[in-house]
Amino acid sequence: MLRFSANLSFLFQELPLRERFAAAAAAGFQGVEYMSPYDEDANVLRSLLRGHGLSQVLFNLPAGDWTRGERGLACLPDRVVEFRQGVATALRYAAALDCPRLNCLAGIASPDVEPERARATLIDNLRFAASACEAAGATLLLEPINRFDMPGYLVQRTVDALAIIDAVGSPHLRLQYDVYHAQRTEGELAATLRAHVGRIGHIQIADNPGRHEPGSGEINYGWLLRHIDALGYEGWVGCEYHPRTTTVAGLGWMRNVAP
């Protein structure tokens, strides 16, 4: 049976962040994830998780200045020191929150940097981060992101992410498969999941168009979620979507299409 986690960067936006933990638990979620914990005190977050019986499933490595358009540091040759400091920060939070997975955003390559140099920088940084995660008992993830929502993002397709993972050569680096991004970029959801389920460390879901809740768009989530379950996937499925109205009003899909 699939386990669903609430992405608190997307869901329950009608509430302040600290109140979203209680809302997620009340809605039946047992796990939560979010993009970044770094503006909050780790001890406060830990208390919220424990108080509401929630598992911290995932969060991202520090991704730079989001307000300035930065979407990760890992492919930027002039930010290697900052990236590696961010790995240490993320692992401190992961230890405090008992979080077993960290997602690395590859970033948007600078137009002044040759693509091969950006890719080589990414591979070196991932190798460093995967080794640090191994020592801490955590798993590092790499996520492809579609070119429409994030133009210029270095890793856009599943095959590209897997090639980079192969180049890194660490069993502690796995694929984060976001169904919404995959649908926009490449389709072939069922076949890709079947071929690579053993290399996937986390799945995220949203429908297309609009990145709203499952059942709102073109993806047959009733079938696809049963397919994921039948493949034997044992990880979490993160609900990373924008509710069309309120989060609670949009949770009917969990009764209607989730296995």
List the catalytic residues: 143, 240
Q: How many whole angstroms separate alpha carbon 59 and alpha carbon 94?
A: 9
CA atoms within 13 A on the CB side of 121: 25
Q: How many whole angstroms separate alpha carbon 155 and alpha carbon 126?
A: 13
For residue 238, give both structure tokens: 């993160």
Which residue in 196, 192, 195, 215 sits closest to 205, CA to CA? Answer: 215
- The pair phi, psi for residue 169, each rounded to 5°, is 75, 30
DSSP conformational letter for 244: S
Long-range contacts of 62-66 (CB under 8 A, 24+ apart): 62/36, 62/38, 62/86, 62/89, 62/90, 63/35, 63/36, 63/105, 63/107, 64/107
- The residue type found at 156 is Q
The radius of gyration computed from the CA coordinates of the chain, to the nearest angstrom, equals: 17
Which residue in 180, 175, 181 sits closest to 198, CA to CA? Answer: 175
